Structure 1
Amino acid sequence: MTQHTEVAVIGGGQAGLAAGYHLRRQGLDFVVLDADPAPGGSWQHMWESLHLFSPAEHSSLPGRLMPAQAGETYPDAGHVVDYLADYEKRYDLPIQHGTHVNAVRRDGESLLVEADTGTWRARAVISATGTWSRPFLPAVPGRSAFAGRQLHTVNYRSPADFTGQRVVVVGSGNSGAQIAADLALDGRAEVTWATQRPPRFLADDIDGRALFDVATARRRALEAGRSDTGGVASLGDIVAVPPVRAARDAGLLPIKPMFSQLTADGVRWADDSHTAVDAVIWCTGFRPALAHLAPLNLRGPRGHIPTDGTRALDEPRLHLLGYGDWTGPASATLIGVGRPARDAADEITHLLRS
């Protein structure tokens, strides 16, 4: 049976919840279809030691401040999950968990959203599926020959899983730094951090509050026609959260330039030396999870769908939310997704009511 709604939101993480908040304020009929069986988005799948970059009050969705976590300046992932679950309940958002969307198709004046639980006919769609479900692994020579354990950021949980092992962590971003620090401070594994380029640490006093201010300043400059300030990327790649600072300052983060290949039992470095390794953790990023939009044939350069703000240029009934700066500055963050979510809801309201 096909059900009808004005707006279908695909994804019930932070971006989907922010979209739901603003759609509710606009008085639109909508449904949120979320593949996860429980609230919390990707935060419920994070590793055990993960903490936010910002204090709770600077990590909030629209309409509801995140409460502080007792004993923590920077809340942990579990606290974020609790906050998102409470947010969903507080605003009585119509979320259907455990619903995986397979495809979105055009059908006259509607978009058909085909899910494993049935089909929805919508006049507009907001795709807010994020990137967590699409981890990226680089094509490194010998990767298929390595007999040890390989996993991505999405699979990492705890240092206890690597007791007595030799581990190489790959990636010069925040995930690589935090996981390498997590393992190093725990001390049960022998850790090497391999990066394509030297890690660029932001100043120790910079956290998510400052990063959001920088991203906002960049957006305002671009909107005013001024030159691009470079945003957060101009400052560095890694927020020096307390565990990363502690491991770095204690000399526990040995950094080596990226290895040239994997062998059956380890890694071979650029100088042809070899290190025996039990596990490789790929902290090499993600790609937007957009397979459900393939029937619309909207992909542009680098797999991105060209947008004006959040609106797809070639399909004005579709908005993309929370995938990174190309769908709104800082839109992949808790505090940053509110503005583009509001803009998307405003544009959809105008489209449906005009």
Structure 2
Amino acid sequence: MKAKDDLSGHLLAGGLDGRHVPVAVIGGGQAGLAASYCLSAAKVEHVVLERHRIGFEWSERRWDSFSLVTPNYQCLLPGHEYAAGDPDGFMVRDEIVDYLRDYRHRFDPPLHEGVDVTRLGHDGHRFTLTTNRGRFFASQVVVATGAYHRPRIPRFAERLPGSIIQIHSADYKNPRQLPEGATLVVGTGQSGAQIAEDLHLAGRTVHLATGNAPRVARFYRGRDCMTWLDEIGHYTKGITEFADQEATRHKVNHYVTGRDGGRDLDLRAFARDGMHLYGRLADITGPVAHFADDLRSNLDGADAVMEGIKDLIDAHIEREHLDQPTEERYTPVWEPGHHVPTQVDLTRSGITSVIWCTGFDADYRWVDLPVFDGRGYPAHHRGVTSRPGLYVLGLPWQWTWGSGRFRGVGEDARYLTEQIVRATQSTRRVA
């Protein structure tokens, strides 16, 4: 479907300047598009503002071999469920970008690309949005920018010798962009484990500083583990069902990969095959990296989580009397020695580059409204903040595990649309 000339594409100069819109959606990623689809279905007039272009985060901040870790059939954007030929496969980076751009063309959202909202405030009567294309107003606002804004790099990175190239995972593309020599990868969340594997498969020498991220098996007893968890109901559990909601909301994701049809990521196997593993990177003094003495506990902890998930699957199979093949449990293929190095001279070890796979910080400094907790994170219930008319969408564990993913963002968008319609009707009754 062809986009409307006055609502999509790049914003014409002054196109929104001075205008008032009923609803402004900030962010044109999967969350913003899902919100727009639901608002359009409810016949709510709105605009969607995207700083860059559709698919930018996926195309520019993911590496070349990147793929989803959730099966394709779990891509459930409203009105755009995955319908291609490989439901149990894993879309690669360019396919994800195409999936989002196809979504945009399917329902023709009122999208303005290239619009950077630099301040969101309230004048006592309505929300004010200051942008690079002018200032305008809205009765209600959905902030759909996610929570991964600013690459997080520890301050001691400043002490690395200038001869060592440093990049964040957001800027990593492929092994060819790095200088000759070994690479230190810091962090073993999804990005760290997958990038370490990418370098390892390319024949590069990899040193890996581990963390306490858990892992999950790709397949168990004949099915993908994420399919099992979906069937068990794990993905539909609301955040309020967990005893420690804040810890749940901010915990690190399990590492696994969808690459080449999907497989486990086993750090022990990497070490067996020549990768150098250490504990958590604690400090840097000149060319010397200092590691915590926790490699064994990091590996054991990740394996314990994986086996615990298998316990859940076993219990589900038994409870439902399912006829599934049995499978032997994991046996460690490598164990750390008694003297794992806690100090490594990077220069002498031939390390010429460091990749910081240390996550992202949320950056809402442009939102000039008192709706944040002590860490600068939006305080909300199911995306509804304490400021009437202000909502957030696309956050990790906003309501369920899938909230920040293609799996569950649509349900959150539908819920917020109901709140927006209800608020609009209430305002009309008062008027």
TM-score range with shorter-chain normalisation?
Answer: 0.7 to 0.9
Please, which moves more after superposition, 253-262 or 337-346? 253-262
Partner AA of 1:170 in structure 2: V
Aligned to 2:215: 201
Name the CA distance, whole Å, in 1 between partners of 2:236 and 2:177.
42
Aligned to 1:171: 187
- Name the CA shift for 1:101/1:227 in 2 (closer, same or farther; >3 Å): closer
Q: Does 1:63 align with 2:82?
A: no
Gaps of 5+ in 1: none
Choose from 154, 174, 198 the match for 2:170: 154
Aligned to 1:239: 256
* Alignment map for 1:57-96 (pairs within 5 Å): 57-68=73-84, 73-96=89-112
Partner AA of 1:321 in structure 2: L
Deviation at 1:192, TM superposition (A): 1.1
Aligned to 1:256: 278
Deviation at 1:185, TM superposition (A): 0.5
Q: Does 1:113 align with 2:120?
A: no
Q: Which has the larger radius of gyration?
A: 2
Name the CA distance, whole Å, in 2 between partners of 1:76 and 1:328.
24
Q: Does 1:287 align with 2:361?
A: yes
Any idea what SS the aligned residue of 1:104 has? strand
Deviation at 1:266, TM superposition (A): 5.2
For 1:247-298, what per-residue CA distance to the aligned partner results, in whole angstroms no more than 9, with x for missing partners?
86463443211233224445244533423221111111112232221x1132
For 1:139-160, what per-residue CA distance to the aligned partner results, in whole angstroms no more than 9, with x for missing partners?
33x5334321111111111111
Q: Does 1:28 align with 2:44?
A: yes
- Name the CA shift for 1:73/1:239 in 2 (closer, same or farther; >3 Å): same
**TM-score w.r.t. length of structure 2:** 0.73
Name the CA distance, whole Å, in 2 between partners of 1:184 and 1:336.
33
8 Å Cα contact 2:72-2:88 kept in structure 1: no
Name the CA distance, whole Å, in 2 between partners of 1:127 and 1:71.
31
Q: Does 1:274 align with 2:345?
A: yes
Deviation at 1:116, TM superposition (A): 0.4
Q: Does 1:330 align with 2:402?
A: yes
Name the CA distance, whole Å, in 2 between partners of 1:243 and 1:266.
34
- Name the CA shift for 1:332/1:211 in 2 (closer, same or farther; >3 Å): farther
Q: Does 1:122 align with 2:141?
A: no
Aligned to 1:311: 384
8 Å Cα contact 2:236-2:401 kept in structure 1: no
Name the CA distance, whole Å, in 2 between partners of 1:264 and 1:51.
36
Deviation at 1:165, TM superposition (A): 2.2
Aligned to 1:42: 57
Deviation at 1:133, TM superposition (A): 3.2
For 1:192-217, what per-residue CA distance to the aligned partner results, in whole angstroms no more than 9, with x for missing partners?
110233x5321231554445565434
Percentage of pairs with the same residue: 29
Aligned to 2:374: 301
Name the CA distance, whole Å, in 2 between partners of 1:19 and 1:300.
24
8 Å Cα contact 1:164-1:190 kept in structure 2: no
**Two-structure CA RMSD over aligned residues (Å):** 2.8
Partner AA of 2:256 in structure 1: V
Gaps of 5+ in 2: 1-16, 293-341, 427-431
- Name the CA shift for 1:328/1:341 in 2 (closer, same or farther; >3 Å): farther
Name the CA distance, whole Å, in 2 between partners of 1:171 and 1:122.
41
8 Å Cα contact 2:180-2:352 kept in structure 1: no
